[in-house]
């Protein structure tokens, strides 16, 4: 079973989640509706991994940070889409009130930032990851992920954006990586 972990300010109704639901049968993918706070999110995702017999992860942005922690802890093959490597730094500009893509509000606190550091991985296992980056990502510098996941399998494209335009082009590559 594949676990999909969405990013910051998104939900299970994001464009990527819908693409994945259309691509995979319901018994092959679990779209995680994880809590906002990092500790609660990780606790929830670990429970899902155990209960749903997860053997693969697809994750984007902040979800990629969580996925990296989980991939290392449980040795799970993981596809990352414009992953956040240092959200404890990059999300500082999001402190305070935020709006998810479904219109609901939430508060991102300083203690959430500090909690993120507890899940930091120093040396990810390159063979666990297939990393998709677009140089036009307006939120995260693709070079940070390129350096952090050095030795992993990559697809790096010019242009694009943080959402990774037309990710569905690579579904066959993702399936090949997982198999």
Residue 82 confidence (pLDDT): 92
Contacts 24+ apart (CB under 8 A), 68-75: 68/121, 68/124, 68/129, 69/42, 69/119, 69/120, 69/121, 70/42, 70/45, 70/46, 71/124, 71/125, 71/128, 71/129, 72/121, 72/124, 72/125, 72/128, 73/46, 74/49, 75/125, 75/128
SS3 158: coil
CATH code of the domain covering residue 122 = 3.40.50.1820
Number of domains in the chain: 1
Which tens digit of pLDDT belongs to each residue from 49-77?
999 999 999 999 999 999 999 999 999 99
What is the reported pLDDT for 30? 96
Q: Which residues contact 9 (CB under 8 A, 6 or more apart)?
A: 94, 98, 99, 100, 101
Span 16-57, pLDDT tens digits: 889 999 999 888 999 999 999 999 999 999 999 999 999 999
Cα distances from 163 to residues 42, 106, 108, 139, 158, in angstroms, run 22, 21, 21, 9, 14
Tell me the pTM.
0.94
62-74 vs 38-51: helix crossing angle, rounded to 10: 50
The residue segments making up the domain with residue 167 are: 2-178
């Amino acid at each position: 079973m594949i676990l999909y972990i969405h990013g910051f300010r998104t939900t299970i109704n994001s464009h990527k989640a819908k693409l994945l639901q259309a691509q995979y049968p319901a018994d092959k993918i679990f779209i995680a509706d994880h809590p906002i706070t990092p500790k609660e999110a990780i606790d929830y995702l670990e429970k899902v991994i155990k209960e749903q017999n997860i053997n693969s992860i697809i994750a984007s942005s902040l979800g990629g940070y969580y996925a990296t922690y989980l991939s290392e802890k449980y040795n799970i093959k993981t596809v990352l889409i414009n992953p956040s490597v240092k959200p404890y730094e990059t999300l500082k500009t999001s402190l305070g009130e935020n709006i998810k893509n479904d219109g609901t509000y939430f508060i991102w606190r300083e203690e959430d930032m500090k909690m993120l550091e507890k899940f930091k991985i120093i040396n990810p296992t390159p063979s666990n990851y297939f990393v998709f980056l677009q140089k036009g990502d307006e939120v995260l510098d693709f070079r940070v992920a390129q350096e952090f996941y050095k030795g992993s399998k990559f697809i790096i494209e010019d242009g694009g954006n943080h959402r990774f335009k037309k990710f569905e082009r690579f579904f066959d590559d993702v399936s090949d990586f997982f198999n």
